[in-house]
């Protein structure tokens, strides 16, 4: 994908109104998403439709509900977040991308090499503030690489959504978050045999906040003691 126009937007981003930082970042993410949609017509929608059955919905470029992501980013900015560890890059790395606009250090763990290559090939990778660890999140080598940049201000778990995987990711990576930091989960409302986030949340002895602007998605988080 030709990315010179995105690079120009990125250069302009630093000079925009700082109180509208999340909105400005959304504008740039949407520009990138529209370009990706043209290059990948099999992806029918930009965002998850909050009213649609997610299991039967059309493929999305940005695998988030727009208002949930926006509210979550505002929470992170309000807490003074600077560094984020994300489990799961996704097909096009859209959440990683917008976080890289807003925060000083963003590291994502992704097991699918194709997703990593696709993201870096868009030409917007910031080597000074972004990092992608390619590997299984439960592999010791992967965990050791993530530990090199601890402590993090935020952990965002959005990888394998099975109960066992979510519970294991939380157990392994939540200790890397500083006291007072945020531990968050995507798809907090989605239940079923392949989706275990709601059950993990029920078992946590934490004060959970859920950002909900959809029937089946949602972002849940707690402040680490």
> In this predicted model, what pLDDT tens digit does every residue of 107-142 receive, in sequence order?
999 999 999 999 988 766 777 889 999 999 999 999
**C-alpha angle 175-177-183 in degrees, rounded to nearest 5:** 100
Considering only CA atoms, which of 145, 130, 219, 216 is closest in space to residue 182?
219
DSSP state at residue 192: B
| Confidence label for 3 from pLDDT (cuts 50, 70 and 90) | low
| Domain 65-223 top-level CATH class | alpha beta
**CA-to-CA dists, residue 180 to 152, 211, 224, angstroms:** 10, 19, 5
Mean pLDDT of the chain: 91
Tokens, residue 104: 């000083």
Contact indicator for 79, 153 with CB cutoff of 8 Å: yes
pLDDT of res. 9 = 66
Domains of the chain: which residue ranges?
A: 65-223
The CB density around residue 199, as the number of other CB atoms within 10 Å, is 12
Question: Which among 2-6, 117-121, 199-203 has the top mean pLDDT?
Answer: 199-203
> For 53-63, what is the mean pLDDT?
90
Q: Is the pLDDT of residue 2 over 50?
A: no
* Least confident among 2-16, 71-85, 167-181, 203-217: 2-16
């Amino acid at each position: 994908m030709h990315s010179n126009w995105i690079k120009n937007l990125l250069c302009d981003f630093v000079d925009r109104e700082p109180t509208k930082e999340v909105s400005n970042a959304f504008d740039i993410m949407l520009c990138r998403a529209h370009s990706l949609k043209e290059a990948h017509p099999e992806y029918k929608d930009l965002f998850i439709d909050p009213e649609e059955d997610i299991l039967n919905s059309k493929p999305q470029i940005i695998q988030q509900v727009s208002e949930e992501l926006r509210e979550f980013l505002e929470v992170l900015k309000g807490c003074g977040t600077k560094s984020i560890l994300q489990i799961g890059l996704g097909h096009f790395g859209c959440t990683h991308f917008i976080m890289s606009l807003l925060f000083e250090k963003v590291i994502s763990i992704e097991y699918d090499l194709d997703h990593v290559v696709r993201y870096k090939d868009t030409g917007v990778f910031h080597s000074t503030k972004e990092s992608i660890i390619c590997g299984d999140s439960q592999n010791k080598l992967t965990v050791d690489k993530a530990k090199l940049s601890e402590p993090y201000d935020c952990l965002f778990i959005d990888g394998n959504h099975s109960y066992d995987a979510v519970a294991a990711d939380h157990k392994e990576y939540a200790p890397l978050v500083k006291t007072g930091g945020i531990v968050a989960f995507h798809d907090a409302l989605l239940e079923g045999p392949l989706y275990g986030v709601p059950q993990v949340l029920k078992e946590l002895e934490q004060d959970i906040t859920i950002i909900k602007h959809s029937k089946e998605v949602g972002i849940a988080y707690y402040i680490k003691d």
